[in-house]
Structure 1
Amino acid sequence: MDKKHKLILVEDDNALGYLLSEYLGMKGFTVTWAKDAAQAILKTKTNVFDLAILDVMLPDMDGFELSQKIKSINPELPFIFLTARSLKIDVLKGFSLGAVDYLKKPIDEEELVVRIYALLARLVNDDPQEEQASQYEIGDYLLNMDNFELNYKGKPIKLTGKEFDLLALLAKNKNQLCTHKEILTTVWDKNDYFNKKSLNVFISHLRKHLSQDPKLSIVNVSRRGFMLRVEGE
């Protein structure tokens, strides 16, 4: 991430709050952890955040009511609910109050990060003043985000939609690991065995497309994911 996004996490469970704040910090976010609604309201009044992550079950106020108080302070602040509740009515209530996402406990940290990336990217894309990367240089290749095209020294290479989405994700994170779960959730919207098998096929296709530049390789990190490696960068 070019910008270090600021998150406020509201979670009264000490173990989970510590785990999530540390994990999100490792992923490049600046995290402010509030352990109850009162702390969250105070921190929202004195800080500017890009996203709020709210536990529904808090000791002094439920997350639904807290979200409305936060919106009265900062109407533009998007929020995600975390909850152990699985009732459909709670999910619908969360979205009716303006939540941009809703995750059920136990929380999968990697999935949470993928959801945050996707939400922040969508919010940035909705901001006309925010300049977006229109292309990615990958060694001697150029990935054009406007016309969904891969070029090698000016020569276009035809990609399928999934090949393009997969290469775009790897290119945005070049020389960094993209986990299987992150890739499958982002490109296929579902992390399962059949899509994981398909992923290996698409990786093989991309390796062939990128084979003209010896500086490039898509590395399989055993049992973890893939990395687009560019030598010299």
Structure 2
Amino acid sequence: MEVKPKLLIVEDDPNLGQILREYLEVKGYEPTLCTDGEAGFTTFARNSFDMCILDVMMPKKDGFTLAREIREKSKTIPIIFLTAKSMKDDTIEGLKIGADDYLTKPFSMEELLLRMKAIFRRTHVHGNGEETNLQFEIGSLYFDAHLNLLKSPSQEIKLTSKENALLLLFCQNLNKTVDRAEALMKIWHDDSYFNARSMDVYIAKLRKYLKEDERLKILTVHGQGFKLVELK
């Protein structure tokens, strides 16, 4: 029996929420709909989900606050924001929290579905239909891309889905330059300025995680992209 990916949808517009729930149900998902942020967090805390789709502007608790609370419980669950605003500050705020993607209303259901499938593919969870066990030993660190886990002799770090996808791309191309535009298209599916800024933020985080082993460096190759190198 096929296991349907479980989705938490938190949307205060009853019409849009119902449309989202019915559409994604038809497409093979198991969606749960909440209409405010407080109900959304209660539902998240009591159940297991594979992805969260959160409206930003909601009563009782906004989507950013809800996402921060969700992130305290799970560093890896994918989060997509739905927003009626196209403000740069909203986009940056969402990325800082660890959002995997965002859509500005109005949007097409087909675009949402494509973005969901792309996230599921790179996070190796239910939505891609198969699982991949990708493990790497880099320097003194151990990276399991399937578990979104980076281990060092002193700590274990649960990576967000984008941190995981970036590190996986670098490990698959160890000591090779990863083209900046190619990485943006592969992980963000868009090489816009805001996504490029987002990638810089995630690379800074990865550099911090790898700092424990001085042999590991993510180098900036000017005019081209980035390279994960293991120094001898």
- With the length of structure 1 as denominator, give the TM-score of the two structures: 0.53
1:44–1:73 Cα contact (<8 Å) kept: no
Question: Within 2, Cα distance between the matches of 1:78 and 1:131?
Answer: 16
Deviation at 1:131, TM superposition (A): 3.4
Q: Tell me what 1:65 maps to.
A: 65
Question: Within 2, Cα distance between the matches of 1:131 and 1:7?
Answer: 19
Deviation at 1:93, TM superposition (A): 1.1
Deviation at 1:71, TM superposition (A): 1.3
Deviation at 1:92, TM superposition (A): 1.2
Question: Within 1, Cα distance between the matches of 2:131 and 2:77?
Answer: 20
Deviation at 1:70, TM superposition (A): 1.2
Q: Tell me what 1:124 maps to.
A: 124
Question: Within 2, Cα distance between the matches of 1:70 and 1:110?
Answer: 26
Question: Within 1, Cα distance between the matches of 2:101 and 2:14?
Answer: 23
SS in 2 for 1:28: coil
Question: Within 2, Cα distance between the matches of 1:107 and 1:124?
Answer: 26
Task: Point out where structure 1 has 5 or more consecutive residues left out of the alignment.
Answer: 133-184, 191-233
- The alignment-based identity, stated in percent, is 43
Map Cα deviations across residues 6-37 of structure 1 (whole Å, 9 max, x no partner): 10000000000000000000000000101111
Q: Tell me what 2:100 maps to.
A: 100
Map Cα deviations across residues 61-85 of structure 1 (whole Å, 9 max, x no partner): 2111110011122232220000001
Q: Tell me what 1:90 maps to.
A: 90
Deviation at 1:107, TM superposition (A): 2.2
Q: Tell me what 1:40 maps to.
A: 40
- With the length of structure 2 as denominator, give the TM-score of the two structures: 0.53
Deviation at 1:41, TM superposition (A): 0.9
1:7 partner amino acid: L
Map Cα deviations across residues 47-74 of structure 1 (whole Å, 9 max, x no partner): 1101000000001121111100111222
Q: Tell me what 1:31 maps to.
A: 31
2:60 partner amino acid: D
Question: Within 2, Cα distance between the matches of 1:97 and 1:108?
Answer: 25
Q: 1:78 to 1:131 in 2, by over 3 A?
A: closer
SS in 2 for 1:85: coil
Deviation at 1:4, TM superposition (A): 1.2
Deviation at 1:96, TM superposition (A): 1.1
SS in 1 for 2:124: helix
Deviation at 1:124, TM superposition (A): 0.1
1:98 partner amino acid: G
Q: Tell me what 2:219 maps to.
A: none
1:56–1:63 Cα contact (<8 Å) kept: yes
Q: Tell me what 2:17 maps to.
A: 17
Query: What is the alpha-carbon root mean square deviation over aligned residues?
Result: 2.2
1:64–1:94 Cα contact (<8 Å) kept: yes
Question: Within 1, Cα distance between the matches of 2:106 and 2:90?
Answer: 16
Q: Tell me what 1:8 maps to.
A: 8
2:107 partner amino acid: I
| Count of aligned positions | 132
Question: Within 2, Cα distance between the matches of 1:13 and 1:106?
Answer: 12
Question: Within 1, Cα distance between the matches of 2:26 and 2:123?
Answer: 22
Question: Within 1, Cα distance between the matches of 2:26 and 2:94?
Answer: 28
